[in-house]
Amino acid sequence: MNYVILIFSLLLIFVSTACQNNANTGSTKRISSEAVKILSEQDIISISSQACNEMDHRATIATNNHALNQRLNKIVNTLPNNINNRNINYKVYLNTEPNAWSTANGCIRVNSGLMKLLTDNELQAVLAHEQGHIALKHAIKSFRQAPYIEITDKANEIVIMVKQEIAQQYEVEADEYALNLLLKEKIDPIGLINMLSKMPIHASEYPTAHPSNLHRMNNILDKLKNK
């Protein structure tokens, strides 16, 4: 069974209440699925919030008057700003890697490398996709379904094991959510296709959480035919 490793950077105190009676191996603490299950949805959202703050602390963030931040603000104004009764907050990381990510508490972060690669319409698609992960509670489900969670002393990272097929299904679900959202907001959904055509092929030492870009594009096109 292939698993995808999802890594969140956060302080060890986040899960101190779940660490009782769990195995410690050297500098790594392993939390069993039984211990994880005692965490409430609000606990997981709090973990996500502090993880986002930790990532912000490490990153170089574009200032309010930075051209990329101003561009992002214009784009996000075309999309909903509240999901699951949580306000969405955005930041631009000055990082050349073409990447974007979201957390359960409503953080969406976009690297400058991705913004420079994509058009405004394509970025709308990316943000709609990330909103999909939040709306569908994928991060919360990942916690719940993990066979175990490890906490390492490498920058206080939390490592979540998720079945590869589940992680890939989450990506497809977020694409489909984004498609429906773009259509609802009367935004050209072709940005989803164009964005995926520009994204680099995912390469990692671990099994990837993302299905192939071609698979995702074909799925979106199939859905569009039925709209």
> Which residues are the active-site residues?
130
What is the rounded distance in angstroms from the CA atom of residue 5 to the CA atom of residue 89? 25
Give whole-number Cα distances, 143 to 106, 166, 227, in Å: 16, 12, 33
- CA-based Rg of the chain, rounded to a whole angstrom? 18
Cβ atoms of 171 and 210 closer than 8 Å: yes
Taking the alpha carbons at both ends of the chain, their separation in whole angstroms is 36
DSSP letters of 113-158?
HHHHHS-HHHHHHHHHHHHHHHHTTHHHHHHHH-SEEEE-SSTTEE
Cβ atoms of 165 and 135 closer than 8 Å: no
- Token pair, residue 77, equals 């104004």
Which residues are bridge partners to 34 per DSSP?
Answer: none
